[in-house]
Structure 1
């Protein structure tokens, strides 16, 4: 089995279509199909069910996909480790990020890490929350930062950063008459909210806030990034939610922020890590994360 066989399989598994996968890999479809067939023969299992519309993963295929991704990620990490060692680093921390962590917080954290331990490389990876948990469980990451705390056994979640929610609205909007906006007033307007698949933790925490109102929200759009939310708010699609930490660095001339009247509405960021004895580098990193929260 060659590494390219894994890459070919991953492409087909993600596209669920041989023609699109071949186009993505810049190869012809026939050698791609032949490679997958040979891979299935070597493994002795059916990985993909061919259909008239494309392909569908079998259960064996889903399990193999997870392992194939992990193999390639380990290879990428091995290459990065060699380059880091050649550059003079004497240690590394693999940190996974989910839910659009506030840039101001992250900047302060990384700057302090470089100042206090410049010989330790901090390697950041952004991903959905589900992949973050999988990576922490399989020792692909040393720790993670996310807005979700609904975790599995073997993973610890520590609340580290608490940021008050603010309302984002177009530069000319009726809510601007309020210096502190009641949530009930916000619920009168269409909302631009984060997408639960891409920002699972943010969506979970916002849903709890919205459920505290007697009104049902009218969702105009779901977005995967903070910047897109601000763009749609500026264009008049609706109003949105942000935090003071995000608002400090996200300047949009056509968007105004106002605090919510209830100052108990906050978004909490969690530090996630495996439930085992942390390394010296990770203990130092955790200390710096807590320092940034002060």
Structure 2
């Protein structure tokens, strides 16, 4: 099994059509079919179920697809790192992050770090908190930025940010423009929230905020991305609770209103290995820490 076979397999698995996969790879369809069959023979397992009308992944094929994607990504990163090394570059820092970090100073920190460490390249990989912990344990990333949660042995965390949730309301909502509201005033409103498996920590925090205000939210719609939630609120499809920084980032599209009750806070933690963390990871954390404490006026992170 080689990288070419993995690339071919991933193309077929993603397209679920040999013709489209062959066009994507710029090879003939018979050649692609031959290589996939050869891969299955080498592994001794069936990866795809195909007939004249459809192509489907077997259970083994699903497993290989995920592993193949990871291997191809690592191979590409190794190629780029080798090239940079040959050009005199120093190295690479692999950082995992939850999407909200894009609005909490991460891009500024990357630019600052690379400017202060010539030759260093920061490679960002979006993952949820649990995936980052696993990737850090496996040595696939050097540092992660996660929500609050229990960490496995061998990892340590440092709190970077703790901020309140705000009510995110449609511009024409009856409470839009208020300085502060009682969360209980939204008890009869349709809520937009993450599916719990996508973000268990945030899901539970938001439910807890509502329960503390005396009601269980009526979850009308579910969305996986903060941007999608805000877009749905802006279209008057419901209300939501968002961390303050994120709500302020889209304040032109929605109304952001403070909550009178003091509830759970939205937290972001940096996670690193307890033993032998890379110096680059420590240096990057120091850069982000400096931004979070207000030493950089361009930062959007607030303590």
Q: If the length of structure 2 is used for normalisation, what is the TM-score?
A: 0.80
Shift of 1:44: 2.2
Specify the alignment match of 1:109 in structure 2: 109
Is 1:70 matched with 2:70?
A: yes
Specify the alignment match of 2:57 in structure 1: 56
Is the Cα contact below 8 Å between 2:177 and 2:255 reproduced in 1? no
Is 1:291 matched with 2:285?
A: no
Pick closer, same or farther for the CA change 1:33–1:195 going to 2, 3 Å. farther
Describe how 1:181-260 pairs up with structure 2 within 5 A. Answer: 181-196=181-196, 198-199=198-199, 201-252=201-252, 254-260=253-259
> Secondary structure, in 3 states, of the residue corresponding to 1:76?
helix
Segments ≥4 residues shifted beyond 6 Å: none
Is 1:4 matched with 2:4?
A: yes
Moved more, 35-44 or 15-24: 15-24
Following the alignment from structure 1 to structure 2, what is the Cα–Cα distance between the partners of residues 4 and 239?
Answer: 48
Pick closer, same or farther for the CA change 1:152–1:64 going to 2, 3 Å. farther
Shift of 1:171: 1.8
Pick closer, same or farther for the CA change 1:114–1:7 going to 2, 3 Å. closer
| TM-align CA RMSD | 3.2
Following the alignment from structure 1 to structure 2, what is the Cα–Cα distance between the partners of residues 210 and 82?
Answer: 51
How many pairs were matched up? 292
Following the alignment from structure 1 to structure 2, what is the Cα–Cα distance between the partners of residues 134 and 15?
Answer: 28
Following the alignment from structure 1 to structure 2, what is the Cα–Cα distance between the partners of residues 210 and 157?
Answer: 28
Following the alignment from structure 2 to structure 1, what is the Cα–Cα distance between the partners of residues 19 and 173?
Answer: 49
Specify the alignment match of 2:299 in structure 1: none
Following the alignment from structure 1 to structure 2, what is the Cα–Cα distance between the partners of residues 114 and 131?
Answer: 25
Shift of 1:84: 3.5
Pick closer, same or farther for the CA change 1:134–1:213 going to 2, 3 Å. same
Is the Cα contact below 8 Å between 1:99 and 1:202 reproduced in 2? no
Specify the alignment match of 2:300 in structure 1: none
Is 1:164 matched with 2:164?
A: yes
Moved more, 126-135 or 89-98: 126-135
Following the alignment from structure 2 to structure 1, what is the Cα–Cα distance between the partners of residues 151 and 109?
Answer: 24
Shift of 1:86: 5.6
Shift of 1:234: 1.6
Following the alignment from structure 2 to structure 1, what is the Cα–Cα distance between the partners of residues 49 and 130?
Answer: 25
Is 1:122 matched with 2:122?
A: yes
Following the alignment from structure 2 to structure 1, what is the Cα–Cα distance between the partners of residues 239 and 11?
Answer: 38
Q: Deviations over 1:127-180 (max 9, x none)?
A: 444543443233221111122524444444433211211111122212237422
Specify the alignment match of 2:301 in structure 1: none
Moved more, 192-201 or 271-280: 192-201
Is the Cα contact below 8 Å between 1:99 and 1:129 reproduced in 2? no
Shift of 1:88: 5.0
Following the alignment from structure 1 to structure 2, what is the Cα–Cα distance between the partners of residues 95 and 248?
Answer: 25
Q: Deviations over 1:212-263 (max 9, x none)?
A: 45433222322233333222212111112222222343342x4110111123
Specify the alignment match of 2:297 in structure 1: none
Is the Cα contact below 8 Å between 1:98 and 1:199 reproduced in 2? no
Gaps of 5+ in 1: none
Pick closer, same or farther for the CA change 1:99–1:146 going to 2, 3 Å. farther
